[in-house]
A and B are shown apart, each in its own frame.
Chain A
Amino acid sequence: MSETKALESMIGEEYKYGFTTDVEYEDFPSGINEDIVRLISEKKNEPEWMTEFRLKAYRAWTEMEEPSWFNATYEKPKFDKLQYYSAPKNKPKLNSLDEVDPKIRETYEKLGIPLEEQKMLAGVAVDAVFDSVSIFTTFKEKLAEAGVIFCSISEAIQDHPELVKKYMGSVVPARDNFYAALNSAVFSDGSFCYVPKDTICPMELSTYFRINNMNSGQFERTLIIAEENSHVSYLEGCTAPMYDENQLHAAVVELIAMDNAEIKYSTIQNWYSGNEDGKGGIFNFVTKRGACRGDNSKISWTQLETGSAVTLKYPSVILQGDNSVGEFYSVAVTNKRQQADTGTKMIHLGKNTKSTIISKGISAGKSDNSYRGEVKISKKADNARNYSQCDSMLIGQTCGAHTFPYIESANPTGKVEHEATTSRVGEDQIFYLQQRGLSEDDAISLIVNGFCKEVLKELPMEFAVEANKLLGIKLEGSVG
C-alpha cells in the first residue's frame, strides 16, 4: 500500500526530473575536429598517451559509418552541431563538498541523490557526473581503507595512469563501433573503480549521470577492474531535463574480472524520453562490455531501461576464463513513441562457461521494443551452456514487440536453450484486479511488476523499491 501511495503522489509529475539547472558553463565551440580533441585533452591536462589514444580514435571514427541495422528510425544526430565538452565553470579539483556549486548540489538533492555522506543510503558511495564532469565522489576515504579506488576517470588518468593505460580500450577497442570510437575521442569524464586482490568492496558503488546543458552530448567512460578473488557491485542512474531537441548520450563501459572475481553492474536508466509526439528525448547509444578474463569469474548485468527516445544498448560478456559466468537481466519499458533495441551478447571462449539471459520487454503507447541477443560458442568452448528467456508484454493495441535472437555454435558440446513468450495485458486481467479494489493504474503496475519479478530481484535492495515505483509511473494511464 505504501508503494501505491507513493505512486499516487507522483501522478501529474509525468517526468519529474525534467527541470534544468542554471549554472555557468565553460563551453567549447560546436563541432568536432582534431583541434577540439586536442583541446579536450589539454583542458584535462592529460598525458601524451591519452591524447594519442583520443586522436587515433577520432581518426578511426572519421572513417566509420553511422550504423543503421537496428530496429529504430530517427533523425541522425548532427555531429557538427554538437558540443563535445561542457563543464560547469570554475571547477578545479574539489577538496570537500562545500566547494561544489550550491546550484549543482541542489540539483542532486532534487533528484534524491544523496551527495552528503551523512544523508547517504547506508553503504552506497556515489560519483556524480554533471554533464561531462564528475562533480564529487563520496566515501572516498572509507573505500581507500579497503584498498578500493573509486574516483572519476579524469582523476584516475592523473593518479593511476598505469592502470588506465593498461585497461582502457582493452574490452571495447576504440574501433569497436561508430559510437565507441566517438566516445574514445571525446569522452570527458566518467567513473573509475579498481578493486584489488582478495577484496570485497565494502559498499555499493554508484554513479549518477545528469545531462543538463541543452546542446551537449554526454560521453562518459566507465572502467571497472576486479582483481583476483574480489567482488564489487556498481549501480548507475541517469536523468536529464526535458528539451525539444534530442540529446546524444554515447557512453562506453568496460568491466574486467580476473580469477574468481565478480562484478555486478546495475543500471536504472530514466533519461527523458521525449513527449507524446516523439519530440525531444535522449539518444542512448552506449557500448557496455565485460570481460571475464580469469577462471571462475563472473559478470552480471542488470538493467532497468525506462527512459530515452531511442535506446541502442547491448551489455555483453566475453567469457574467456574457464568456468566463467555471464548474466544479463533486463527490463526494458517503452511508452509513447519510444524505441528500444536492446539485448546482449554472450561470447563463450573458455571451457564450461555459462551464461543466462533473462529479458523482459514491456511496450505501451505507440512504442517499439526489440530484444536483440547473440550467443556465440567458439570452437574451444567445451561444454558451454546458455539459457535465454525473452518475454514480451504488450499494453494496448498500438505498440510493437520484436525478438531477434542469434545463435552461433562452433562446438558440438555446447548447449543453448532459448524460450520466448509474448503476452498482452488484457481487459480481463485489469478488470479482475479492479474488482479486487485496485485502480486501473495500480492494476497495471502490479501486473508489470509480477512480469518483471525475476529481473527486479537482481537489483540491489536499496534500488528495488525505486525500480518498482519507476515502472508504475512509466506506465500510468497507458491503457486508454
Chain B
Amino acid sequence: MLEIKNLHVEVEGEGTEILKGVNLTINKGEIHAIMGPNGSGKSTLAKIVAGHPEYEVTKGDIIYNGESILELDPDERSHAGLFLAFQYPVEVPGVTNNTLLRESYNTIAASRGREELDPLEFDDYIREKLELVDMKADFLERSVNTGFSGGEKKRNEIFQMAVLEPALALLDETDSGLDIDALRIVADGINKLHHEENSVVLITHYQRLLNYIIPDHVHVMIGGKVVKSGGKELALELEEKGYDWLESLATVNGEAK
C-alpha cells in the first residue's frame, strides 16, 4: 500500500537534511507503530507523506498504491485515501465541524466518483460516527478546534478519520496530552475503524498507546532514519531500555553509508 524508498528530505530553502534515507513498507490491513525520541524525524515523515509544502524531497520516493505521489498536492493525496491526524490540529474560527466535514466528505466522494450527501443525509451519517469517539451532537456546531481542550482536539482528529474513512491513516502523536480515559476512548475508536482493507500508522513516544492498539510492526527512528524494526515486543523493550542503546546503531549505520 505504502512504500517509502530511501527518502531524503530537507526543509524547503534551508538545506538542513531531516530525513536521511528512510525505508518503510506498509501493507494493506497492517498497523505500524513508529517510535523514537524527539527530533528523530517521525512527525516530519508523516507530514511529508501527506504533502506538506514546507519540505523538499531531495532523493528517494514515496509509492502509494503502486504510484509515486511526490508530485501530488495535499488535497489530491487526501482524495487518494491518505489521512493525517495532526499532532497540533489547526483552529479554523467561524467554520463549524459540520461544515468542514461535509465539504471534506463530499469533495473526496466526488473525486472518487461516489455520490455526495446532502445536508440531511450527511447529518444522519455523521451522527453515527460521533458515537465512535463518544462525542455529543453539539460538538458538530462548534468551530473547528476553536477553544477545544487538547484532548478534544485529538478526539476530533479521530472523529474526522471516522467520517472520511481513509485507506491509510497516519496518526501523529494522537496519544500525547490525553488522560487515561480519553486515551482509552481514542484507542477504542481507532480499533473500531481499523479493518483488513485499511492501514494505520501510529507515531508515538510512548508504549502505553500500544497496550490498547496492538501493532503488527514497530519501527524505531533516530536521527532521520529507521534504525530498527520488529514486532510488538520491540515497543516493550524500548519501554524498558529507552532509546540510548539504539543511538549507537544510528551512528554506525550512518557511517556505514
Taking Cβ atoms with an 8 Å cutoff, the residues of A that contact B are 1, 4, 426-429, 431-440, 442, 446-447, 449-454
Query: B86 within 8 Å of A by Cβ?
Result: yes
Q: What are 12 A-B residue pairs whose CB atoms fall within 8 Å in the complex?
A: A431-B50, A433-B100, A434-B51, A434-B75, A436-B78, A437-B105, A437-B108, A446-B103, A449-B94, A451-B93, A452-B94, A453-B94
Contact of B103 among A1, A429, A451, A452 (CB under 8 A): A1
A429 to B90, CA, bound (A): 6
B94: chain A residues within 8 A (beta carbon): 449-454
Contact of A434 among B78, B99, B101, B105 (CB under 8 A): B78
A1: chain B residues within 8 A (beta carbon): 102-103, 106-107, 110, 116
A433: chain B residues within 8 A (beta carbon): 92, 100
Tell me whether A431 and B143 are in contact in the complex, defined as CB-CB below 8 angstroms, given that A436-B78, A436-B160, A446-B92 are known contacts.
no
Contact of A431 among B52, B79, B102, B116 (CB under 8 A): B52
A435: chain B residues within 8 A (beta carbon): 50-51, 74-75, 77-78, 83-84, 86
Tell me whether A4 and B107 are in contact in the complex, defined as CB-CB below 8 angstroms, given that A431-B52, A436-B100, A436-B160 are known contacts.
yes
B90 to A: closest C-beta gap in Å? 4
Residue from A427, A428, A435 with most neighbouring chain B CB atoms (10 Å): A435
A451: chain B residues within 8 A (beta carbon): 93-94
Query: B111 within 8 Å of A by Cβ?
Result: yes
A449 to B144, CA, bound (A): 13
Tell me whether A450 and B104 are in contact in the complex, defined as CB-CB below 8 angstroms, given that A431-B53, A435-B84, A436-B78 are known contacts.
no
Question: Which range contains the number of B residues in contact with the other chain?
Answer: 35 or more
A437 pairs with B107, CB closer than 8 A? yes
B93: chain A residues within 8 A (beta carbon): 450-451
B116 pairs with A434, CB closer than 8 A? no
Within 8 A of A (CB), among B134-186: 143, 160, 164
B78: chain A residues within 8 A (beta carbon): 434-437
A452 to chain B: closest residue by CB: B94
B106: chain A residues within 8 A (beta carbon): 1
B75 pairs with A437, CB closer than 8 A? yes
A to B contact number (C-beta, < 8 Å) = 84
A4 to B110, CA, bound (A): 12
B90: chain A residues within 8 A (beta carbon): 426, 428-429, 432
A436 pairs with B104, CB closer than 8 A? yes
Shortest Cβ-Cβ A-B pairs, 9 listed: A450-B94, A450-B95, A434-B74, A1-B106, A432-B90, A453-B94, A436-B104, A437-B78, A437-B108
A437 pairs with B102, CB closer than 8 A? no
B134 to A: closest C-beta gap in Å? 22
Residue from A433, A439, A440, A447 with most neighbouring chain B CB atoms (10 Å): A433
B188: chain A residues within 8 A (beta carbon): none
A1 to B160, CA, bound (A): 17
A269 to B: closest C-beta gap in Å? 22
Residue from B79, B101, B107 with most neighbouring chain A CB atoms (10 Å): B107
Tell me whether A437 and B52 are in contact in the complex, defined as CB-CB below 8 angstroms, given that A4-B107, A451-B94 are known contacts.
no
A1 to B83, CA, bound (A): 20
A448 to B: closest C-beta gap in Å? 9
Query: B54 within 8 Å of A by Cβ?
Result: yes
Query: B73 within 8 Å of A by Cβ?
Result: yes
Query: B89 within 8 Å of A by Cβ?
Result: yes
A451 to B95, CA, bound (A): 8
Additional 11 contacts, C-beta under 8 A, given A431-B53, A435-B78: A431-B51, A432-B89, A433-B100, A434-B51, A435-B77, A435-B86, A437-B79, A437-B105, A437-B107, A437-B111, A450-B143
